[in-house]
Structures are given as C-alpha cells and as structure tokens.
Structure 1
Amino acid sequence: MSSDDQLREKAPLEKPAEKLLAPLSQFVRSQAASGILLAIAVVLAMVMANNGFHELYETIKHLHFSISLGSTAVDMSLKHWVNDGLMVLFFFLLGLEIKRELIAGELRDVRKSSLVFFMAAGGMILPALVYLAVNGVTDAGAARGWGIPMATDTAFALGILAAMGSRVPRVAIVLLSALAILDDIGAVMVISLFYTDEVLLAPLFRAVFVLFLLLVLNLSGFRRPLPYGLLGVALWWFVLQSGVHATTAGILAAMAVPARPYGSTTWFLEKMEDIVKRFRKTHDPDQSVLEKDEHEELAEEARKVARATLTPLQRWERAMDIPVSLLIVPLFAFLNAGVLLPDDIGYLFTAPVPLAAALGLTVGKAVGISAFAWLGLKLGVARMPEELVFGHLVGLAFLAGIGFTMSLFVNSLAFEDAVSLQEDAKLGILMGSLTAAILGTSILLWLHRRGDSNDD
C-alpha cells in the first residue's frame, strides 16, 4: 500500500469506486478521447443519413429553437445554434491555446520554431492551390471552397499520435500541436477575410467597443470570469449581427483573457510555506479538518493562494477543454458530417469538388508541408528536432491532412447557399481525411519498426 493510501481518509466504497471509474477518468483526460468520440459522431451521422433514419436525422438538424428578449428574438435551427453559437466556445478555447503558445509555448521564439512556420506555410498554400487546380479557377462557385483543405483537425491528429504511444517520439506531438495551431490561425483569418459577404458597420462598431471594454478589464487587473463572460456574450451578439462570422468573437474574446497571475511563484512559495508552518503548529493526527475550524480556514487559504498563482488563461482553458472537446465538437460533427453516399462510388473520383477537397487534404498537405520543411532545413533557417528524421515530418504532414472539423466548418461557410456543392465537399473531406490518417499512421509505424530492426 502506498503512503498516499495510508494517509488518506477514504469512504467505505471509495476504493472499489476508484477502480471502476479510474479507466473512464483516464480516457476522458486522454488525447485520444476527443478523437474517438469525434469518429463515433461521424459514423453515427453517416449511418443515419444513409438508411431509414435519414428523415429523423434531417429533423434533428432542423429543429428550431428561439430565444427572445423583449422585441428582439433569435430563431435558428439546432445546426445553426451549434455552428454559430456553441462553436464560438470552440474558437474561444482555440484562441486561448493560440495565446498560450504565443506567450509561453512553442511559438514564442520564432527562431526556435521556424520549422513549424515553414511547415504551416506549405500546409496552407499548397492545399488551396491543389483545390483550385483541380476545380479550375474559372468555376467561381466551386472555387469558393479553396479554404476547405487548409486547416488541421487537432483532435483527430493528436488522438492518433496519442494512440500510437511510444511508437512516436514525444517531440512529434509537440510539433504537430504547434503546426495545428498555426493552421487554425490561418483558417480563422481566411474565415474572417474571405467568407464574410456583407458587413454592417453599426453592430461592428458596437463589437469593437465591447472588445475595448474587455481589454480595459484585462489591463485593470480583473480576473473573475463573470464580467468577461457577460461581455463575451455581448461581443458574440454584435459580431453575429454585423455579418462577420460569429466564431470570430471567440478568438477576439480569448485575446483579452488575462495571462498574468495575481501572485508570482515566489509569492506562492512564501504564502504556502507560511500556511504549512501555521498548520503544523496546530496539527493533531487524530483530528480531521472537519473538527478543527482553524485547519479548515488554512486549507481554504491554501486553495485561494494556489488559484491566484494560476492565470485566468490557464484556469479557463482547463475548465473548458473537456466540455468543448467531448461534447460541442462531436455534436458539431454529428450535425454536419451526415451526407448521402453516391450510388456510383466512381463519382468521388470524377466530380471536381470532392476530388479537389480530397487531394487538397492529402497531396496538398503532404507535399506542401514536406517541401516547405525541406526548404527551411536546406536554407539553414530551420532545425530538425534531435529525435526526428525527415520521414517523421512526412508522416506528420499526412496526419495534418485530417482537416475534418475545421474543413467542415469552412465548407458550411463557403457553400452556404449551394447545398449540392456542400454535400460534394463533405464527401471529399471524409475521403481525404481518412486517406491522410491511414497514410500518416502507416508511415510513422513503418519508421518505428525500421528503427527497432536497426537497433537489433
């Protein structure tokens, strides 16, 4: 029995409950969990859309919900509430991750992360060019989907790497995470600049004013979530009314979240040492914290000190990660991935839109990321991580072609008024993402086996 078990006070059924729930808890917190749930949502949507449940699936998507306040009302289908509402939280979480990476992560030092910047540039430029080359730039309607193959689905890609475990060097996960963040930054810029048809200035100015208030809160040292939450909702509403896609509000709100803690690490050490010293003076091993008011107060003080040492950015990112990745993103996938499969499978290889989306995600991503990485290394601007060989970069380049969530999102904007093109693009996204996943996984596993055989 560990010393931790000996010192803890457990309830009568706590030990068997822990044994029962521990695997579930580990799964929920694992990188693979969101990818698995995403895959289940996609399969469920495809099954319902292609058999007797098709009408039920369409009914669920188009269920209408209305929220009204006085004379103002918002009435949208469930699909639109998720796409324009709940997905704002996904983009807010994405914005928090971007801000963390820029301040304290892999993207903080441009010189050290130059390889990622080269890879991201190739991973955005080449897929768009491949899409346009297949569709033909003269077809204005189909060409509008050029942004579809640009981004990486972080949940799926990192979920595959997590499932592979020690077969892939740890630095590969860090590299792919940073690459996905940069891809997502590019996708957000594309959404804001190229998939906004009409902008109304009055609500846009109101949104700018709300963003200004958020920044003032940050600079004034406010770290409680309530005012940020209320202003965040107002920002979402004004951005939605302006014509700019509402998810942009999530990124903007995240940029205003404080990244400074209340107390430094030195302050934390001094406070905790003082609390522990006072706790020791009155400590009685035969009494629980429930029986001693002073111990309860000290424990509460320790909790507040620990909380004040973490930044709001860290706390809110951690609080939102599980509900967004395990609920919102799978729900989005379920409502958007269901597409009727063609009777003639050859249609996938002859129709320009699904072929362009699929080739953009596979050929475009793989060639773009690999070629730009090679260029950066040859120029001496980028440096290869010690644990990796160039083959690892090729494998990661294919995994970056899993563009699922963000590709579906861009597709819904690009072909909002062209249902047939939107359905075609979905087929291409599914085909391209699946192919990219298989090829990327195969390359990385082959490199691992080759490494084992060389060691022998």
Structure 2
Amino acid sequence: MSDKSVDIKPDDRDEAPLEDVVEKVASPVRKFKDSQVSSGIILLIATVIALLIANSPWQQMYHGLSELPLSLSLGDWTLSHSLKEWVNDGLLVVFFFLLGMEIKRELMVGDLKDISQSSLVLIIALGGMVAPALIYVSISGVINPEVMRGWGIPMATDTAFALGLLALLGNKVPGVAAVILSALAIVDDIGAVLVINLFYSDALAIQPLLYGLLVVSLMVLLNVSGIRRPLPYFVLGIALWYLVLHSGVHATTAGIIAALFIPSKPAVKSRWFTSQMHKLLNRFERMDKKEQSIYEKPKQHQLVEKAQESARLSMTPLQHWTSRLEPSVYFFIIPVFALLNAGVTMPDASLGNLLSGPNAAVWMGILLGLFIGKPIGIGLFAWLGIKLKLARLPKDLSMMQLVGVGWLAGIGFTMSLFIATLAFEQSDLLLKQAKIGVLTGSLFSAIGGSILLLIANARAKQSN
C-alpha cells in the first residue's frame, strides 16, 4: 500500500481548539495505517479473534452469526443470502476488483510488462503453483480419492501477510526480494482466479452470461469514449456482479473483469497539469493575505477547487481508484472475511487421531503443499530456469534468499481459505480439515521462510 500522508509542520497548521490533542492520538494511528505491516497485523488479529471465539463457549453464536440471513427486496424481487455468503460473494468482489486493477497495472507498466525481465517471476510462480497441487494430489489420491477437489487450495499466496512479514524483517532482506514476492503474488493470483473459474464454478446459465457480455460491452464503450467518472462504472459493475452471480461463474470474477476496463489514461497530459498548477499557484499567491483565512476569500477558495479538479484530470482512474479502495479492502473487507471464515472449531480428538483419520488427506495435503510444495517448487523451477538460461537471478538476491521468499509465498491464508470454501462447501468436516491445513501450513511457512532469510542474511554478512 502506498503512503499518501502529507507532511505538515506545526507552524503551518491553522488548528481548532482541540486539534492538537486529537492529532497526538491520530498521528500514531495514521503511521500504523500507512506502514507495510499494518494490513498483515490487522488480518492476524482478525484471525486470532475468529479462532478464539470459534473454540470458546460462544462458538454457537459465532456460527449463527455467519449463517444469519440477510435479504434485499424490491416488490416481488428478493436477493437473500447468509451474512457469510454476502461477504464471500459480495464484499470479496471488491477485493478481486482491486486485485484486477493491480494485475492490469503490472501487465501494462509494472514488473510483468517485459517478458524477458519477468521470466524469473513467471517461472517460479509456475513452480509455486504446480508443486503444491501435485503434493496435495499425491497425498489425497493415496489416502482418500474423494477429497481430490481440494487440489487448488495450497496454490495461493496471501500478499498482505507475506509482504507484511517481509517488511518486519527490514534490512535483513534485500529490497529486490519484496519486488520478486509482489510480482510472484500477482502471477499467483492470476493463476488462482483461473483455477476458481475453471474448476470451482457451477454449471453455466447461458442467459445471464449473455446479458453479462452486454454489460461488459458497455464498459468497453465507456472506456474508449474517455468517460472517467466512477458512477457509470459502479452501476455497470453492480449489474455485472448480479449477472455473474446467477450465471454459475463465481461472483468474484465480476470484480476481475470490471477492473480490466477501468481507464488507465488520464484526461490531460502531465505538461498541462504543470502549466495549470503554476498559473493557479501564482494567482493564489497574489490573493494571499496572512491576516485572513481562506474562508474569508471566496475567490481563493475557488482556485483551490480548480487545483483539485486539475489534479483529478491528471490522475489515471486506475491508480486513483486503487489508492482509494486499498484502505477499505485491507482494513475492513479482508479482516471481515477472515473473521467469518478462519474460525474453525478444533476437533476434540487428539493430534494423533486427527492425523490418522479418514479425511486427514485434506489437512496433510494442504499443510505439506504450502509448507513443502511452495519452496521446493519455486526453488526447483528457479534453478532449472537459470540453468536453461531462460531466466537470471537478480545480482542482490542469492538462491537461498529466493527460496526463503518462496517459503513466505507458502502463506496462503486469504485466497486459500476462499478456495477451500468453494471446494468443500458441501462438507463441514472437509472444510474444517482444509481450514486447519491452511492455518498450520501458513504458520509453518511464515516461520520457515523467516528463519531461512535470517540465516541467508547472516551468511551474506560473513562472506563480505
């Protein structure tokens, strides 16, 4: 997430009577919100709360809240789902919309624009998806073929958790590691979206899909017509979500599709913005009188509004909407998703009984897929890509550090939990096993990756 805070010196403030007191409280909160680790910490807190409540005397209340019905109706039309379904099929669409805009930016101007430069990321991402799936299939196929549907669960990477943990390690990890992990997570997310739509969607309903194509055509028309206001895209996005929800394709796909047609060009060129701001600033300075506030000078206030409009015209909707959505997604939507989905009630059986049970293939397959499959797949594919001269390792990153980054990619959490709910929505027992696998696999991957990166950093210092 980007740091959008503005540095204002105390002498430059025109403070209200209690503003200084409020600022002392608000300033640390803003700094925490703008830090790289903040979203991961909030997500961790939400997860711990969900686990504690789900294994407390209030567990019935917790599960009852998740299944609480919530309906929207207008005349004879009604749309009714449980609270958990509204979050997973509704609120989470906003997360996928944000994800889609980030993917679009990466493909257009980011680390994935040039195939020759991004070849290492593409290769290790493929290894990080294939190896965990193969491990899960090999285990579940031997122990219990009925649980094969969960093969896609250990393929995912939770960007917020992984990057947050990397940020906590600070200067013990080279800066290029964060770039690699970010790009890896984006490719991983593209793969997860494809897996969800190809393997975890219901039977298709043609009529809603045809209407959905019409909505997409209208979004394309908005884009090529140079319309950059959010309202038309919002209205069409809601319509697309409703149609996709009833088409058999998973509703979150609407978020990805809508994001692809968000304008990526500003209304004006940067030189116009520079010229316009110089003109407005000069006029503002000529009107400025220190003994008067802007409230007493309407014409000066109008200049500020013109500056705001000039800034809006100079921004791309893709970047502007991304920065606007990030706080609500990472500090509300994803934590709420975790609260309603991470709360697994642990079985009364001992760990030995759990591991030897008939459905232990799910738990073991996901755990080993994330904890073992991710680093092995990423490390092995990186080695092969370098040996075959299809990719090269960045000069500031060692192979051990790359494997450590790959281990952090085994923190599946958000996307893994989401795929688990799709894979085993008909079986509470299998879903419980899957959640245990996701939680333990993500935890072990976080610990393993952190230890390996710290060891690699110590070795790098000794060799220098």
Compute the TM-score of the two structures, normalised by the length of structure 1: 0.96
Q: In the alignment, which residue of structure 2 is the partner of 1:192?
A: 197
**Structure 1, 7-16 or 237-246: larger mean CA deviation:** 7-16
Deviation at 1:180, TM superposition (A): 0.4
1:69 aligns with 2:78: no
Instruction: Count residues in correspondence.
Output: 454
1:423 aligns with 2:432: yes
State the secondary structure of the residue aligned to 1:242.
coil
Judging changes above 3 Å, is the alpha-carbon distance between structure 1 residues 4 and 44 closer, same or farther for their aligned structure 2 residues?
closer
Q: Is the 8 A contact 2:158 2:411 kept in 1?
A: yes
Deviation at 1:316, TM superposition (A): 0.9
Q: Is the 8 A contact 1:125 1:150 kept in 2?
A: yes
Judging changes above 3 Å, is the alpha-carbon distance between structure 1 residues 310 and 134 closer, same or farther for their aligned structure 2 residues?
same
Q: In the alignment, which residue of structure 2 is the partner of 1:345?
A: 351
Matches within 5 A, 1:349-364: 349-350=355-356, 351-364=360-373
Task: Tell me the distance in 2 between the aligned counterparts of 1:347 and 1:153.
Answer: 30
Per-residue displacement from partner, 1:348-371 (whole Å, max 9, x unpaired)? Answer: 544211000101111111100111
Q: In the alignment, which residue of structure 1 is the partner of 2:392?
A: 383
Q: Is the 8 A contact 1:348 1:428 kept in 2?
A: no
Deviation at 1:138, TM superposition (A): 9.1
Deviation at 1:163, TM superposition (A): 1.6
**Structure 1, 63-72 or 199-208: larger mean CA deviation:** 63-72
AA matched with 1:73: T
Per-residue displacement from partner, 1:296-353 (whole Å, max 9, x unpaired)? Answer: 1111111111111111111111111111111111111111111122321124544211
Q: In the alignment, which residue of structure 2 is the partner of 1:158?
A: 163
State the secondary structure of the residue aligned to 1:285.
coil
State the secondary structure of the residue aligned to 2:79.
strand
Task: Tell me the distance in 1 between the aligned counterparts of 2:287 and 2:94.
Answer: 46
Deviation at 1:39, TM superposition (A): 1.2
Q: In the alignment, which residue of structure 2 is the partner of 1:238?
A: 243
Q: In the alignment, which residue of structure 2 is the partner of 1:365?
A: 374
Q: Is the 8 A contact 1:348 1:355 kept in 2?
A: no
1:400 aligns with 2:400: no
AA matched with 1:89: V
Matches within 5 A, 1:46-445: 46-136=51-141, 139-342=144-347, 343-350=349-356, 351-445=360-454
Task: Tell me the distance in 2 between the aligned counterparts of 1:72 and 1:149.
Answer: 39
Q: Is the 8 A contact 2:161 2:411 kept in 1?
A: yes
Task: Tell me the distance in 2 between the aligned counterparts of 1:73 and 1:3.
Answer: 50
Judging changes above 3 Å, is the alpha-carbon distance between structure 1 residues 5 and 231 closer, same or farther for their aligned structure 2 residues?
same
Task: Tell me the distance in 1 between the aligned counterparts of 2:170 and 2:278.
Answer: 38
Per-residue displacement from partner, 1:47-88 (whole Å, max 9, x unpaired)? Answer: 122221111111111111000122221111111111111111
State the secondary structure of the residue aligned to 2:351.
coil
AA matched with 2:169: M
**Structure 1, 16-25 or 123-132: larger mean CA deviation:** 16-25
State the secondary structure of the residue aligned to 1:191.
helix
Task: Tell me the distance in 2 between the aligned counterparts of 1:282 and 1:429.
Answer: 61
Task: Tell me the distance in 2 between the aligned counterparts of 1:251 and 1:418.
Answer: 28
Task: Tell me the distance in 1 between the aligned counterparts of 2:19 and 2:459.
Answer: 46
AA matched with 1:116: V
Q: Is the 8 A contact 1:46 1:339 kept in 2?
A: yes
Q: Is the 8 A contact 2:144 2:361 kept in 1?
A: no
Task: Tell me the distance in 2 between the aligned counterparts of 1:324 and 1:241.
Answer: 24
AA matched with 1:346: G
Task: Tell me the distance in 1 between the aligned counterparts of 2:244 and 2:8.
Answer: 54
Q: Is the 8 A contact 1:261 1:308 kept in 2?
A: yes
Q: Is the 8 A contact 1:32 1:163 kept in 2?
A: yes
State the secondary structure of the residue aligned to 1:306.
helix
**Structure 1, 33-42 or 148-157: larger mean CA deviation:** 33-42
Deviation at 1:295, TM superposition (A): 1.3
Q: In the alignment, which residue of structure 2 is the partner of 1:30?
A: 35
Judging changes above 3 Å, is the alpha-carbon distance between structure 1 residues 379 and 320 closer, same or farther for their aligned structure 2 residues?
same
Q: Is the 8 A contact 1:116 1:178 kept in 2?
A: yes
AA matched with 1:17: V
**Structure 1, 311-320 or 440-449: larger mean CA deviation:** 440-449
Task: Tell me the distance in 2 between the aligned counterparts of 1:28 and 1:214.
Answer: 33
Per-residue displacement from partner, 1:184-240 (whole Å, max 9, x unpaired)? Answer: 000000001111121000011111111111111111111111111111000000000
How big is the alpha-carbon RMSD for the aligned residues of Structure 1 and Structure 2? 1.6
Deviation at 1:109, TM superposition (A): 1.0
Task: Tell me the distance in 1 between the aligned counterparts of 2:12 and 2:445.
Answer: 50
State the secondary structure of the residue aligned to 1:290.
helix
AA matched with 2:323: R
1:449 aligns with 2:455: no
Q: Is the 8 A contact 1:137 1:143 kept in 2?
A: no
Task: Tell me the distance in 2 between the aligned counterparts of 1:8 and 1:333.
Answer: 39
Task: Tell me the distance in 2 between the aligned counterparts of 1:348 and 1:401.
Answer: 22
State the secondary structure of the residue aligned to 2:40.
helix
AA matched with 1:367: I
Structure 1, unaligned runs of 5 or more: none
Deviation at 1:147, TM superposition (A): 0.4
Task: Tell me the distance in 2 between the aligned counterparts of 1:368 and 1:117.
Answer: 12
AA matched with 1:287: Q
AA matched with 1:382: A
Structure 2, unaligned runs of 5 or more: 1-6
Task: Tell me the distance in 2 between the aligned counterparts of 1:329 and 1:137.
Answer: 35
State the secondary structure of the residue aligned to 1:338.
coil
**Structure 1, 10-19 or 108-117: larger mean CA deviation:** 10-19
Q: Is the 8 A contact 1:29 1:322 kept in 2?
A: no
State the secondary structure of the residue aligned to 1:68.
strand
